[in-house]
Structure 1
Amino acid sequence: MTAPAAHPLIPGYLAQRDALRRFFRARAGASADVEDLLQDLYLKVIAVDPGTEVKDLNAYLYRLASNLMMDRWRSSRRGAARDGAWREVTVTTGAGEDIADAPAADDVVIGRERLAVLLKTMEALPDKTRRIFRMHKFEGLSYAEVATRMGISRSSVEKHMMDALRILFAKVPR
């Protein structure tokens, strides 16, 4: 498997990854999944048109990171407000029952189809990349723990994870 031409913003992202991790941890707290935020930021970076001129890469990365956190905050607030309003209208007025915990049937079918594509795509990953992805995502190991188990550097784990995410992002429908 040959890697596609590298996105011009990726080296800057990699150079700032540890600082961005601290940025997320300081703002989102210890309970936040900082690695997921970093991966979401990576996906935003690779989605930028490679021809886009970026004068100050660090400022651009931090703006993307701030926007990502703001989007997550707004989304959680909207969800909480929507759920609260629904409960108030349906439960307190006696017009209906509380929100069901089970997803809609069509969401279940779509989810199962996405899962099948995800699993098939994961199995097609190179062996080392697949093992690293599973250790981090399914076993919950940190990058440092994966690196220790695999006997490789942490940056190598990060690169394998980015490769896996890039491939999965391209193949799994959203």
Structure 2
Amino acid sequence: MDADPPSPLLALYLAKRDELKRYFTVRMRSAEAAEDLVQDMYLKVSAASSEEIGNAAAFLYRLGSNLMLDRLKSQRRSLARDTGWRAVTVSTLGGQDLADEPAADEAAAARQRLALIIEALNGLPPATRRAFRLHKLEGLTHAQTAEAMGLSRSSIEKHISAALKHLVRTLAA
């Protein structure tokens, strides 16, 4: 089974491939980028219709130049997007990036403090614990907490005061 002979444009591309690679290596200042570009050219040329092109060599150089410009534009857009993202999300000090996360020892200490607070809260009577949760954690006012629990505002204030005193005593120990 004989393969179809390559189109005249593809045959010219294959003959000039090394020359095209050298030409675009100089223009792109990178042999790897030029190799990728010449490979992309091959994909375009092999998929091109077999209609006759007046100056096939000029067509190949124009195709390569257009692909190169498309890559440069894409890289610039990418760089602008990444620079914008970096400016919004990364903090720097003295040219060094600062991490948004706390240090590992600080995170471990915070987890230990949280465990102590949870343990202290679990040691409270249920009504005091619920009043504390509604007011301090869910953000309800004393009046809203009192209404939610069916108690007087004065009782809620006493429950919250008792909870805070218990937390301070437990965490200080």
TM-score under structure 1 length normalisation: 0.46
TM-score under structure 2 length normalisation: 0.47
Bigger relative contact order (CA 8 A; separation at least 6): 1
